[in-house]
Structure 1
Amino acid sequence: MIQTMERQSLVDEIRGFSLLGILMANMLIFQYGMWGMDEMELFGQTSFDSWAHKAVKIFIEGSFMPIFSFLFGFGLFKQMQSQEARGGKFRRVLLRRFLMLLILGFLHSYFIWDGDILLFYGAIGFLLLLFLRRKAKTVLIWGIVLLSLFGLAGLGISGTDMNVTPEQERKTEQYVEKSIEVYQTGTYAEITRFRNNEPVPMVDDPLFLMIALFLIPFMTGPMFLFGIYAAKTGLFEQARTKRAFYAKGAAMFIVPGLILKTLGVISPGFIISGIGKTAGMPLLSIGYILGLAWLFTLKEAGMVRKGFASIGKLSLSNYLTQSVVCTTLFYGYGFGWFGKLGVTAGIGIALLLYILQMIVSTWYAGRFRIGPVEWLIRAWTYWSWRGRPKRAVLPGPVDTNA
């Protein structure tokens, strides 16, 4: 039981830290929009902001959200184990969880913000059920194959403008220019209407949609599968004895991940730069996971671990809170800062908001067992007002934190 608590604490800490990276990456979408964050010339950014933007794209963008995907897969397997230890049918429990994620994701994306991930997590959960009972080696092979294929697909997108026609570029600029006016001055109703009804460039292209739908499993699947593999092989069990492994693994993945991502950002026209956009992101994510595991097993890290763990325990509540706060700051029905402050200021806001969430989460976690959104999902998942699984049928210790 002690080992289970240590493992869960480490997972919470990694999840909590990754939420900071997710917030910084999402801050670009809050500030400039889903399409505007790649059309920064329309916002007149300074040279300093330009370098800050590049730094975010290299070190953060696309490499922290996969950590959530990894932990989602990890948690699914642990939840299956926990449910089976109680003699329950894990598929029913997980299907209810996926359904609630779909509902929350739809509400979040429709009424608050279009950068939602919960809807996608709820949908891909049904696919992951196919892998929960597979052998660890099988899951690992599938993950490596999908990652390799997606990495090679980057060869086809090397060069920023190779696949974008002048007409598509013009439509994108028009869309972004219109979004600036709507998000800066629009009412809640006007912004919601624009977000959900305005034709989005590229997405209206049937070929683009077909390619995107085809690539999604290759792009997102590996990290979910690696999470399942990590749970099956006990990656975070007896973590203190694996510090050397974590350190070597972190270096092995972080270095090539940063090189590939830097190549994709600094030299987008280079012949293999597209691989930096596809393979670099998950490689860096794996390196971050191992690096954080090493960091949080240091005795000297004891003081900060509690704060990260508290945010991690309330990750969904904090994630949705970030959307509410940031849309209020940047949208017209709030402060209307959309596109006005710059990337550097956005990083500062992200850090400030995260620190406040860490303080509140630490206070909350000391008084309540789970967060409000976490309680809602668990109550629905287990059909229990207390948000707890049914009493175990089989003897032995049970992981109630799965």
Structure 2
Amino acid sequence: MNSLSVTGNERIRTIDIIRGFALFGIFLVNMPSFHSPEFMKVIHGFKMEYTGLDYWVDAFFTVFVDMKFFTMFSFLFGLGFYIFISRAKQKGIGANGLFVRRALALLLFGVIHLISLWFGDILHTYALAGLFLLFFYQRKIKTMLIWAISFIVVYNAFIGLMLLIPSEILTEIEASSPSIAGIISEYVSVYQQAGYGEWLTYRLGTELPLILLNLVPAMIPIFAMFLIGLAAGKAGIFQNITEHLALFKKVRLITFLISLPFVVLLALFVLDILNWGVKQTYVTEVLTSVSSIPLCLFYISALTVFLHNGKWQRMLRPLAYTGQMALTNYLMQTVISLTIFVGFGYYGEVSLAMGTLICVVIFAGQIVFSTLWMKRFRFGPFEWIWRTLTYLKIQPMKKQEIANSDTLHQSL
């Protein structure tokens, strides 16, 4: 494979495949909240108890999936920011203003998604955190990484403070806490029986305040990964993968070695081989968060090396189409899942393993749909709206319209 193909189609296709892979991981993480009241249980400190196959599915998710794919997607957002700004500057367009419109359009999608459909929206958080990237575009790579590491350390130190509280105090707090059985019962009842208006009103009073209170803390690890992705873009390592292949292999090895002890330790706690009693949930949360960064970077570097083989790129091209339509697929995952579980009355009635199977089936359908759609069109439906709002000009949709278009080259 020559260098031209590496710096051209391979780079974009590799990133799209990784994005598609990350989108699947995010769907796996979100699925339990689509079909069960996991959100309310976690918020109120209720320990999730699973048995049988669900126990092993939950253990696998905790060790290898939770927080790893949102982290990966955040990295890709930062990388995409660099590519977007760089291309805009090359075209002589006001890059900063263009990106602000792009972020505000994403914020609009996110707010509508958050309010009208689902508490777990990540788009509004990405849009708000993304605006701060404008202050870092001109900074040195070293500066970006120092800020990123600082954010990661501060965030994990903060969530680790619970481990410093004596177990006796935590036990007393848990004993004095009111039972959440009634809260969960009401929550499930509304999701199962309420009409849309009543359901929406209940959500705005129950879910939205908790999401807004957590907005700033949620932005910290996300922005840290934005900066790492921005640094990778500025370093040019995805512009020519062949030239930097040795670096990707080195990162793969280092992040694997860093991840391994955290993953093993996390697995020991998840499987209750190690048990800290009342602090078990908190230590699991800390280890999940700490392991997410190196494991995410291991996934990205390993996939990049793997996809350097043109044969595997061609085989996984459908996943790249799914990644190109990430916004559309992300929003449709909510619509499809809520239709199945809330619309058809299956909320709270589906096991973790069955929910995972349904997730796989839905995503397989999205791969097929995305492949058929992208064979004909340049963008996914919501990507087209997003670009139109960004450029304030109707974008050509069909591929044969490219010749008459003076818009920017398709970017992340």
- TM-score band, normalised by shorter chain: 0.7 to 0.9
Report what 1:110 is aligned to.
Answer: 115
In the aligned structure 2, how far is the partner of 1:220 from the partner of 1:105? 16
1:401 aligns with 2:411: yes
CA positional deviation for 1:377: 0.7
Q: Is the 8 A contact 2:125 2:219 kept in 1?
A: no
Q: Is the 8 A contact 1:330 1:336 kept in 2?
A: yes
Identity of aligned residues (%): 27
Q: Which amino acid aligns with 2:192?
A: Q
Q: Which amino acid aligns with 1:378?
A: R
Rate the CA distance shift 1:192–1:26 in 2: closer, same or farther, 3 A: same
In the aligned structure 2, how far is the partner of 1:79 from the partner of 1:157? 40
CA positional deviation for 1:150: 2.1
In the aligned structure 1, how far is the partner of 2:395 from the partner of 2:8? 22
In the aligned structure 1, how far is the partner of 2:346 from the partner of 2:164? 32
The structure where helix makes up a greater share of residues is 2
The residue correspondences of 1:182-331 to structure 2 (distance < 5 A) are 182-198=190-206, 203=210, 209=213, 212=214, 215-254=217-256, 255-256=259-260, 257-259=262-264, 261-262=266-267, 265-266=270-271, 267=275, 269=279, 273=284, 275-331=286-342
Shifted more, 34-43 versus 363-372: the winner is 34-43
In the aligned structure 1, how far is the partner of 2:47 from the partner of 2:220? 32
Rate the CA distance shift 1:168–1:337 in 2: closer, same or farther, 3 A: farther
Equivalent of 1:381, from 390, 395, 399? 390
- Which 5+ residue runs of structure 1 have no aligned equivalent? 393-397
Rate the CA distance shift 1:4–1:261 in 2: closer, same or farther, 3 A: farther
Shifted more, 366-375 versus 217-226: the winner is 217-226
In the aligned structure 2, how far is the partner of 1:164 from the partner of 1:113? 34
In the aligned structure 2, how far is the partner of 1:92 from the partner of 1:20? 32
In the aligned structure 2, how far is the partner of 1:199 from the partner of 1:37? 12
Report what 1:170 is aligned to.
Answer: 178
- Which 5+ residue runs of structure 2 have no aligned equivalent? none
Rate the CA distance shift 1:164–1:355 in 2: closer, same or farther, 3 A: farther
CA positional deviation for 1:296: 1.6
TM-score by length of 2: 0.85
Cα deviation, 1:212-250, whole Å, max 9, x if unaligned, reads: 466344322211100100100112222245444334423
CA positional deviation for 1:262: 3.0
In the aligned structure 1, how far is the partner of 2:234 from the partner of 2:176? 45
Rate the CA distance shift 1:265–1:169 in 2: closer, same or farther, 3 A: farther
Cα deviation, 1:183-211, whole Å, max 9, x if unaligned, reads: 1222222222221123789x49xxx94xx
In the aligned structure 1, how far is the partner of 2:268 from the partner of 2:50? 22
Q: Is the 8 A contact 1:154 1:277 kept in 2?
A: no
Cα deviation, 1:19-48, whole Å, max 9, x if unaligned, reads: 110000000111223524648989984332
Rate the CA distance shift 1:199–1:367 in 2: closer, same or farther, 3 A: closer
Rate the CA distance shift 1:344–1:193 in 2: closer, same or farther, 3 A: same
Q: Is the 8 A contact 2:119 2:208 kept in 1?
A: no
Equivalent of 2:357, from 330, 340, 348? 348
